[in-house]
Amino acid sequence: MRDRLVLLPGWGLGVSPMEPLAAALRGLDEHLHVEIEPLPQLDSGDLEDWLDELDERIPQEVWLGGWSLGGMLASELAARRGEQCCGVLTLASNPCFVADEQWPSAMAGETFDAFLAGCNADPRTTLKRFALLCAQGSADPRGLSRLLLGGAPATAPTVLMAGLELLAQLDTRPALQRFRGPQFHLFAGQDGLVPAEAAGALFTLLPDIEMGLIEQASHAFLLEDPHGVAGAIQAFLRECDDD
């Protein structure tokens, strides 16, 4: 099923931000079957629980992709599946969302802890703040954040917290090093959540993978510039077909 791409969304905002990208990809290649798979609605922050559910729901031998947290989960699932995965692509997705000594190109731990506490106290306000951070760096941050929030589903606070707990602990570097299939990682130059420097750090770690950077774009570049992101993905998939 090399003509099938399954995309996973990011934290908290549901599948709506992915829909313009999926439509743009279908417009570029009528033979490419693009699907958006919602993230699991789990109270658990355990990675294996999330991967077990995704592994059960998503067919084998497809391309796996995702935005932000969705890209991290796609990377982990690709490594779990090995040769049963056609390849993996991530969009504005940092191997480590929270910075540490080994991976400083990420969100500061203190900032993330404050975000976690805010979500625990007031999930709705925290989701609004998150949407603004996603849109930071775009031409119209407030308009883009309203678009992001407009399609956000009503998610239980326990599920939102579990997703943040998962984000805090995820480190996809071993998974990406283990996975032998094609990889493409696309970053945004004005990203308010994933520093653009993460692209260089990842390329240093894995010099044989395909990388891209859309310089004048925010974390929500898949909604801000779906055709630009779709074009970059399509170029990668074509290159893999030629190989």
Instruction: Enumerate the active-site residues.
Output: 68, 191, 219
Buried b (16+ CB within 10 A) or exposed e, 161-182: bbbbebbbebbbbebbeebebb
Give the integer Cα–Cα distance in Å for 59 and 181. Answer: 17
Give the integer Cα–Cα distance in Å for 107 and 100. Answer: 9
Give the integer Cα–Cα distance in Å for 11 and 69. Answer: 6
Give the integer Cα–Cα distance in Å for 163 and 160. Answer: 5
Q: In what order do the strands lie in the sheet with 4-8?
A: 33-36, 4-8, 63-67, 87-91, 183-188, 210-214
Residue type, 211: M
Q: Is 71 helix (H, G, I), strand (E, B) or coil?
A: helix
Q: Kindly give the residue spans of alpha helices, DSSP state H, lying in 13-138.
A: 19-28, 47-57, 69-81, 109-121, 123-135
Within a 13 Å sphere around the CA of 34, how many CA atoms are in the beta-carbon half? 23
Q: What is the DSSP letter of 82?
A: G
